[in-house]
A and B are shown apart, each in its own frame.
Chain A
Amino acid sequence: MEKRIKIHYITGLVTAALVLLLGLSLAISAAVIYFGGTEQPYSRETVGEYLKYVLPFGILCILAVISGIVIKFVFPLEKSKLLPQSDEFRALKRQRARLEKKNAEALSDERILKESLYRKKISIALLAVLSILGIAALLVALLGNYDAALINESVIRVALTVFAVALIGGACAYVAKIYMAASARREAEIIKELLNSCESLESSSAAEEKVDRKPLYMNIARASIFALAVVFIVIGIFNGGMADVLGKAVRICTECIGLG
């Protein structure tokens, strides 16, 4: 079995080296062509010429990959032989570290209070953001009553865009708030755990007492965001947004693909 591990290891290293060489040769070829000094460095002939130098690395790479596949089937490895890197080992290691951390930082009143204060601050921040967005939306609505000649049309459009983003942001913030409220239930569970641990040191399986509550409010939030998305799509179809997407998608975007 040790021999098999060695074969796998060497195959892996050789393949890694070839992959790196292939990548390097491709990148260097592109750089050499570009910095070649001519006005129009790239042409089919020039690229073809440099690809001839890269081709051997490519072939060797493919051969290494194929041999890796063959070795995997011909000399299969048992997972237990790789114990130090196995998932089970890493899981145990992590669990041990967490238990040690948990013991060091006991479930204290201070911690619960800290978490509670943190959640309150988040909630206040979210409410503040929502209020600012609401005021901004009001201003945008009022701006529409001004003489169009005085206000740059594009500024109004940008403001409307910001409003749309604000609406989405507000919806997400509201959903986040709901989720935060849901996680606040954990507070009660932590207190429950504390009580349990005080009553019996052996009943550490607080997991058995955790209740899986179905978040109905989560489904309501999902449905609301879904409905908002559909409304936006319908508005977008009528205001030309969909046609814009088509107009861009049916032309080769030379910038997007690096031509230029």
Chain B
Amino acid sequence: MEKNLKPKLTFKRRLIQLYAALLTNANIKGFATGSIFKGNSKNACVPGLNCYSCPGAVGACPLGSLQNALASSGKTVPYYMFGIMLLYCITFGRWICGFLCPFGLIQDLLHKIKTPKLKKSRVTRILSYFKYVLLVLFVVIIPLAYMFKDMPLPAFCKYICPAGTLGGAISLLIHPANTGMFEMLGPLFTWKFALMISILVGCVFIYRLFCRFICPLGALYGIFNKISILGIKLEKNKCIDCGLCHAKCKVDIKHVGDHECISCGECISVCPTKAISWKGSKIILPENEIPEAATEEEKTVITKKREKRVFILRLVAAVLMVSTLAGALVYYNFIYEEPEISTDIGTGDFNVEDFRGKVVVINFWGTWCSGCKKELPAFNKVASDYADKDVVVVTVHTSGTEGWEEPEVYIDKNLKGSKMLFVRDVRVEGAAYDTYYTALGGPGTYPMTLILDDKGVVNYTTVAELDYESLAAEVEKALAKDTSGIDTDNLFEGYVVGDLCPSMDLEYIELIE
């Protein structure tokens, strides 16, 4: 029995995992263009761990979204994220880990590499509780604590998550259009890269190392594993306590279906009394109840009817799945188009052309961006130090979604009396991302800084956070008309260093008196 069942089940599971990985990363052209998907399907969270900064991702990451929701819970109560997490937890539990998580698939494939393996033990059982510590500390406490400082910090994503490093950073950095992102690599990337390599190498020797010991998402799903609608269940009246299921299982379960069980179904094939089965199977297909008094002929008819039902259900499921995947691939890669950038932008009273004859420092920021807020004091200092030297520092605020602090309020609290000019990046109605930033070919990351010389020509661009010394050095170069260090590599799609900066009408922000 085991020989027949095991390959079929493993193959089916692998197929479903591959399907889920493809569906959640259906935006394959993102890898070709080096940019992330920005459509409305990112309103919804995918069930598994899949970084939303991955070029292929078509949905939001539940863990990242949860941390961000907690980090901004001072502004908006995160009912939506709580609802999504509850829904996934009660419906799937850790079935997601076994079947739907793309990072789980990567770990499974790595574990297939033929090397000596470290089997589970009491030590691994104890280590499996570490993920709950990470859940409480990095996913809940730290984002909440930083919420009070008004600095959103998704701590697990920032310091630990290997899916973000692999799917997000590496995928983006590989593409030539993102060469400018190399400037942003520093100690954080070095740490995360080393951690990611350690986890991936560890997965070769230890089954699902990340899922068992580190993943807070798995920890959260595991809490609901016993009461989830889908998953594995044990019928105690049939169980003879032989322990084969426990021995077969590669994760640190104490009982089949407990909080560590990833519902892979491997134990189903080894149970001699068929005591282990899938939860929820009877919702779709009731048990084959053949009356005792039935004749052989009647039994055959009933069994055949059931087999027919099973076949039809499988066919319908297969057709639905294939058509959904095909539809998603076609839509995301061939039909969906980014909104066109209109040149008719701005209805305001600020125009960068008015500052010809001066060196202009333009910084794009937002109150929703903690990195932007961190570097603003440096720009403020430059503005005051160079006020009498024909240097203008303009900060262009791009608003986030509703709920984030208004720039006027932030400026009043932190930058009162500043010599910087505060301008709003105006969004044209009907165009989702039609702003000065996108017109400049902004690469999707904030902050972004440009320095224009006195003729309005772009001398310097960067997407890295700047400190005072670096910024002052570049301003000095522009003042001295020193073009020797100008890097004419195409950083953005639109305007490059050496091009005249386009003129746009933007609105001044009305500051609080």
Binding site for B on A (CB under 8 A): 8, 11-13, 15-16, 19-20, 22-23, 26-27, 30-31, 33-34, 40-44, 47, 65, 68-69, 71-72, 85, 87-88, 90-92, 94-95, 98, 154, 157-158, 160-161, 164-165, 168, 172, 175, 179, 205, 207-208, 210-212, 218, 221-222, 225-226, 228-237, 239-260
Contacts of B223 in A (CB 8 A): 172
Q: Please name 11 pairs of A and B residues whose Cβ atoms are closer than 8 Å in the assembled complex, sorted by A.
A: A30-B197, A34-B190, A42-B189, A88-B244, A95-B241, A95-B243, A154-B74, A207-B239, A245-B43, A249-B61, A257-B165
B114 is an interface residue with CB less than 8 A from chain A: yes
Q: Residue of A at shortest CB range from B199?
A: A23
The 5 tightest CB contacts between A and B, nearest first, are: A236-B80, A232-B83, A241-B80, A68-B114, A257-B168
CB-CB nearest in chain A for B189: A258
Within 8 Å by CB of A249, from B65, B172, B237, lies: B65
Question: Contact: B169 with A241, CB < 8 Å?
Answer: no
**Bound complex: CA of A235 vs CA of B172, how far in Å?**
35
With A68-B113, A157-B74, A241-B76 known to touch, is A222 a contact of B229 (CB < 8 Å)?
Answer: yes
Q: Which of B164, B236, B443 contacts A258 (CB 8 A)?
A: B164
- Smallest CB separation, A187 vs chain B (Å): 14
Is the beta-carbon distance between B201 and A249 smaller than 8 angstroms? no
Alpha-carbon distance between A249 and B44 when the two chains are bound, in angstroms: 10
Q: Are B226's CB and A168's CB within 8 A?
A: no
Determine if A240 and B227 form an interchain contact, defined as CB atoms under 8 angstroms apart.
Answer: no
Q: How large is the interface on B (under 10, 10 to 19, 20 to 34, 35 or more residues)?
A: 35 or more
> A99 CA to B74 CA in the complex, in Å?
55
Q: A164-B82, A256-B161 are in contact. Are A87 and B244 (CB under 8 A)?
A: yes
A10 to chain B, nearest CB (A): 11
For the complex, would chain A's binding face be called helix, strand, loop or mixed by DSSP majority? helix
B40-78 interface bits toward A, Cβ cutoff 8 Å, 1 = contact, 0 = none: 101101000001110001011100110011101111111
The answer to whether A233 and B158 touch (CB under 8 A), given A15-B113, A94-B246, A260-B371, is no
What is the distance, in angstroms, from B441's C-beta to the closest C-beta of chain A? 14
A27 to B: closest C-beta gap in Å: 5
Stretch at the interface among B124-132, B295-303, B399-407: B399-407
B38 interface residue per 8 A CB criterion: yes
Other than the given A179-B226, A235-B80, 12 more pairs (CB < 8 A) read A27-B197, A44-B179, A91-B246, A161-B73, A212-B237, A226-B90, A228-B86, A236-B78, A246-B42, A249-B65, A252-B445, A256-B53
Cβ-closest chain B residue relative to A232: B83
Cα–Cα distance between A221 and B187 once the two chains are bound (Å): 47
Partner of B86, one of A41, A218, A225: A225
Q: In the bound complex, do residue A241 and residue B81 qualify as a contact, i.e. CB atoms below 8 Å apart?
A: yes
By beta carbon, the residue of chain A nearest B444 is A252
- Across the interface, do B115 and A16 meet the contact criterion of CB distance under 8 Å? yes
A253-B79 contact given A226-B90, A244-B72, CB 8 Å threshold: no
Cβ of B446 within 8 Å of any chain A Cβ, yes or no, is: yes
- Chain A residues with Cβ below 8 Å from B319 are none
Query: Quick one: which of B230-286 are within 8 Å of A by CB?
Result: 235-244, 246-248, 270
CB-CB under 8 A for A154 and B75, given A11-B114, A245-B43: yes
Q: Which residues of A contact B228 (CB under 8 A)?
A: 222
In the complex, how many residue pairs between chain A and chain B have their CB atoms under 8 Å apart? 306
CB distance from B49 to the nearest CB of A (A): 12
Q: Which residues of B contact A47 (CB under 8 A)?
A: 182
Q: How far is the CB of B184 from chain A (nearest CB, A)?
A: 4
Task: Tell me if B208 is interfacial: C-beta within 8 Å of chain A.
Answer: no
A245 near B42: Cβ-Cβ < 8 Å? yes
- Given known pairs A249-B60, A250-B36, the reply for A168 and B445 (CB within 8 Å) is no
Q: In the docked arrangement, what's the CA distance between A83 and B83, Å?
A: 48
> Chain A's nearest CB lies how many Å from the CB of B45?
7
Q: Tell me how far the C-beta of B445 lies from the nearest C-beta in chain A, rounded to whole angstroms.
A: 5
Pick the contact of B82: A16, A40, A165, A259 (CB < 8 A).
Answer: A165
A46: nearest residue on chain B (CB-CB)? Answer: B182
Q: Are B80 and A26 in contact, with the CB atoms below 8 A?
A: no
Residue A34 contacts which of B38, B164, B187 (CB distance < 8 angstroms)? B187
Cβ of B401 and Cβ of A40 under 8 Å apart?
A: no
With A15-B114, A30-B190: A254-B244 Cβ-Cβ less than 8 Å:
no
Given contacts A15-B113, A244-B76, contact A256 B164 (CB under 8 A): yes
- Contact, CB under 8 Å: A225 / B77: no
Are A19 and B227 also in contact (CB < 8 A) when A211-B237, A258-B188 are? no
Q: Give every chain B residue within 8 A of A255 (Cβ-Cβ).
A: 153-154, 157-158, 188, 370-371
B residues in contact with A90, CB < 8 Å: 247
A43 to B19, CA, bound (A): 35
B247 close to A88 (CB less than 8 A) = yes
Given A27-B197, A34-B187, A95-B242, CB of A221 within 8 Å of CB of B247: no
* List of A residues within 8 angstroms of B247 by Cβ: 87-88, 90-91, 94
Asked, given contacts A253-B52, A260-B188, whether A98 binds B445 with beta carbons under 8 Å apart, the answer is no
Let me know if B321 is at the binding interface, CB within 8 A.
no
A172 to chain B: which residues have CB within 8 Å?
Answer: 223
Query: Is A229 within 8 A of B189, CB to CB?
Result: no
Contact B80 A31 (CB under 8 A): no
Whether the pair A246, B401 counts as a contact (CB closer than 8 A) is: yes
Whether A259 contacts B200 by the Cβ 8 Å rule is no
Bound-state CA distance A221–B182 (Å) is 51
Given contacts A91-B242, A222-B227, A226-B87, contact A254 B445 (CB under 8 A): yes
* B368 sits at the interface (CB 8 A): yes
Cross-chain contact A158 with B73 (CB below 8 angstroms): yes
Q: Are A226 and B91 in contact, with the CB atoms below 8 A?
A: yes
Within 8 A of A (CB), among B427-448: 443-446
By the criterion CB–CB under 8 Å, are A257 and B164 in contact? yes
Question: Which residues of the partner chain B approach A30 to less than 8 Å between Cβ atoms?
Answer: 189-190, 193-194, 197
- Tell me the complex Cα distance, A13–B193, Å: 25
A245 and B244 contacting across the interface, CB-CB below 8 Å: no
- Residue pair A231, B83 in contact (C-beta under 8 Å): yes
Q: Considering residues B77, B147, B443, which has the most beta carbons from chain A within 10 angstroms of its beta carbon?
A: B77
- Given the known interface contacts A245-B60, A248-B60, the answer about A258 and B165 at a Cβ–Cβ threshold of 8 Å is yes
Q: Which residues of A contact B161 (CB under 8 A)?
A: 256
B417: CB under 8 A from chain A? no
**Which residues from B are CB-within-8-Å of A41?**
185-186
Q: Which residue of chain A has its CB nearest to the CB of B374? A: A260
